[in-house]
Amino acid sequence: MTLRLGVNIDHVATIRNARGVGYPDPVRAALIAVDAGADGITAHLREDRRHITDDDIERLMATLTVPLNLEMAATEEMLGIALRHRPHAVCLVPERREEVTTEGGLDVAGQFDHLAPFVARLGEAGIRVSLFIEPSARQIDAAIRLKAPVVEFHTGRYADLGADPDEVRRVSDAAALASKNGIESHAGHGLTFANVAPIAAIPQLAELNIGHFLIGEAIFTGLAASIGRMRALMDAARPA
């Protein structure tokens, strides 16, 4: 299976919004990312609009020739936006106003009844639904019962523990369990040049979504070079 790379452009918008001006433009960053080897673009439209804005989503939908993965909280406002724009995919994520970044996976098992209508309505609209979860059997079981076609495993703990082999095994076991039950597996959060290879080597993973590190590295090497190197490391870890 070819491992896809989704590039998250949120923090291009973070830099733009720090000055309240029109640059740097996240849509321009998305187009550079695609030229550099990204298979898709990810953007998180937060309720407080701290980085990506509604206008960004509208322009991305009008401009991109690759899939847009819209990350969002499971709220009625966000559901309405997703149903209006109909991106290729929606990834439902946990969201707290006071957090700096997403701090963990969505508790699908604990919020099953709340999430069920969101998964159903998005699916009925032809939008591929993904659930951002911890790599655990309990959360995968809930995703199976929700009939979600995709799960994305939160790799923050793996990154925080310095690419710990036990965490690699945990993600690998979760991806195997999801695959066995017909669910496509993705992964993301905290992935860098230094730690991406063990995760990229997991054969059941179909996609990695990476953003903050790539945007940070772009300050020193340029965005295209940053993405190109990540693409090369992923390909080397998953030989054809």
- For residues 198 and 195, give the distance between their C-alpha atoms in angstroms, rounded to a whole number: 7
DSSP state letter for 206: E
Of 51, 85, 186, 189, which residue is the catalytic one?
189
Is residue 189 among the annotated active site residues? yes
State both tokens at 106: 């969505």
**Residue indicated by tokens 């082999």:** 165
Among 44, 51, 85, 186, which one carries the catalytic annotation? 44
Q: How far apart are CA 223 and CA 73, in angstroms?
A: 28
- Catalytic residue among 71, 95, 134, 217, which? 71
With left for phi above 0 and alpha for psi between -120 and 50, is residue 222 left, alpha or beta? left
Is 44 a known active-site residue? yes
Q: Which residues of 68-83 are buried (b: 16+ CB within 10 A; e: fewer)?
A: bbbbbbbeeebbebbe
Residue 46: CB atoms within 10 Å: 19
Please state, as a whole number, how many other Cβ atoms lie within 10 Å of the Cβ of residue 159. 20
Helix, strand or coil, per DSSP, at residue 76: helix
Residue 114 annotated among the catalytic residues of the structure: no
Give the list of residues 6+ apart from residue 138 with CB closer than 8 angstroms, or none: 109
Taking each helix axis as running N to C, give the angle between helix 112-124 and helix 137-146, from 0 to 180 degrees, rounded to the nearest 10: 50
Active site members: 44, 71, 189
